[in-house]
């Protein structure tokens, strides 16, 4: 991710396929100076829109640690809901698993920006 105004590096965001999850998940990481400015929300919402409209996906997951309250809030803000709390294969800590479902591939449901 880069800021349009000046090309400054902000972080990364995209769809990931993990062996421990049945569907692709949206993931993001921001540089410390870019946190709290809404960049993760904007980028993750764009990924959901791309997943639905361009890739025809109807379900996308996301994971975060239980103590990462800002990430949980970001995922909820883009229309995801927590579906479980578990230790993913290969991890030594619990993760919250979030889910987003599109009404149809042509019309994604509640992608907030």
Residue 59 phi, psi (nearest 5): -145, 130
Q: What is the mean pLDDT of the chain?
A: 91
Fold of 11-101: Aminopeptidase (3.40.630)
Is the predicted pLDDT of residue 38 greater than 50, yes or no? Answer: yes
Please give the helix or strand (H or E) that residue 82 lies within, else none.
strand 81-87
Q: What pLDDT was estimated at residue 105?
A: 43
Averaged pLDDT for residues 44-48: 97
Q: Where are the domains of the chain?
A: 11-101
Is the predicted pLDDT of residue 108 greater than 70, yes or no? Answer: no
What are the tokens at 61? 């997951």
pLDDT 10s digits, 91-103: 999 999 999 998 7
Is the predicted pLDDT of residue 41 greater than 80, yes or no? Answer: yes
Averaged pLDDT for residues 67-72: 96
């Amino acid at each position: 991710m880069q800021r349009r105004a000046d090309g400054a590096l902000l972080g990364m965001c995209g769809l990931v396929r993990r062996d421990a999850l049945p569907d692709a998940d949206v993931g993001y990481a921001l540089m410390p100076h870019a946190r709290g400015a809404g960049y993760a929300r904007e980028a993750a919402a764009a990924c959901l829109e791309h997943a639905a409209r361009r890739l025809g996906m109807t379900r996308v997951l996301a994971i975060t640690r239980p103590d990462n309250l800002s990430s949980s809030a970001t995922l909820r803000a883009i229309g995801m809901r927590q579906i479980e709390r578990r230790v993913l294969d290969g991890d030594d800590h619990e993760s919250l698993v979030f889910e987003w479902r599109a009404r149809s591939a042509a019309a994604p449901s509640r992608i907030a920006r």
